[in-house]
Amino acid sequence: MRFPFLLGTALTLVIAIAPDAVLKTQAVQLRDGTVYFVQPPSLEGAITTYKTTYAWGATYYFTINLPENAGEPLQKITINQHQGVDRVRFDLEDTVVFEGKPRDQRQKQQLKYVTSDRKTRTVSLTFDPPIPPGKTITIGLKPYQNPGVSGVYLFGIKAFPAGEKSYGQFLGYGRLQFYSPTFL
């Protein structure tokens, strides 16, 4: 019964004496050099500007929040198409990343590399410089054309902290649904 009280008192004293030391977070680094986020980013949502099949000119937006206590900046994001009948191909030259949400675009972020692996259906984005903790960013990918088959398309999002050997944290699936146009 006394141990929880003593532990609580000790933690209170540490926070009172050195609050900056307690509030600053360091990245988790394993003995082999692998770097992890202390608090991983979160996928805030995914939307598209056009939901009809075969539509031209759409943009798929993926919004990611990197918390203040992430411990490391965000170096890389991968977006992998997990579900959907048609394979979505993107015009990588038109990829944009900006601070904020799609309706609240702020400062544009610089990209070092944007690559695509056709076999794995994965787009990889490397930031230069890395995105510091405490930011919300949105990635805008432009498909050449929306899928021709209606249905749900899932895109798995992974985030990698800065470092030579970083662990990719799975953030979840961005879900986009496409509908066939109806003609009356």
CATH value at residue 61: 2.60.40.740
Residue 21 lies in a domain: no
Q: Is the pLDDT of residue 11 over 60?
A: no
Whether 126 and 112 have beta carbons less than 8 Å apart is answered as yes
Positions of E strands within the chain: 28-29, 35-36, 42-48, 60-66, 74-83, 96-99, 111-117, 122-131, 135-141, 151-161, 169-178
Residue 5 lies in a domain: no
**Domain that residue 65 falls in:** 35-177
- CA 181 – CA 89 distance, rounded (Å): 21
Residue 139 lies in a domain: yes
Count the domains in the chain. Answer: 1
Q: Is the pLDDT of residue 17 over 60?
A: no
Residue 96 lies in a domain: yes
pLDDT number for residue 7: 38
List, as one string, the DSSP characters of 94-105: G-EEEES-TTS-
Compute the C-alpha angle 167/162/47, nearest 5°.
Answer: 80
Residue 122 lies in a domain: yes
pLDDT number for residue 82: 94
**What DSSP state is assigned to residue 49?**
S
| pTM, full prediction | 0.82
Whether 126 and 113 have beta carbons less than 8 Å apart is answered as yes
- CA 111 – CA 103 distance, rounded (Å): 21
How many residues make up the chain in this entry? 184
Residues whose CB falls within 8 Å of the CB of residue 182, separated by 6 or more in sequence, listed in order: none
Confidence of residue 26 (pLDDT cuts 50, 70, 90): low
Structure tokens at 53: 């099949």
Residue 154 lies in a domain: yes
Give, rounded to a whole angstrom, the gap between the first and last alpha carbons of the chain.
Answer: 74
Residue 74 lies in a domain: yes
pLDDT number for residue 85: 87
Residue 110 lies in a domain: yes
pLDDT (tens digit per residue) in 79-94: 999 998 899 999 999 9
- CA 153 – CA 86 distance, rounded (Å): 9
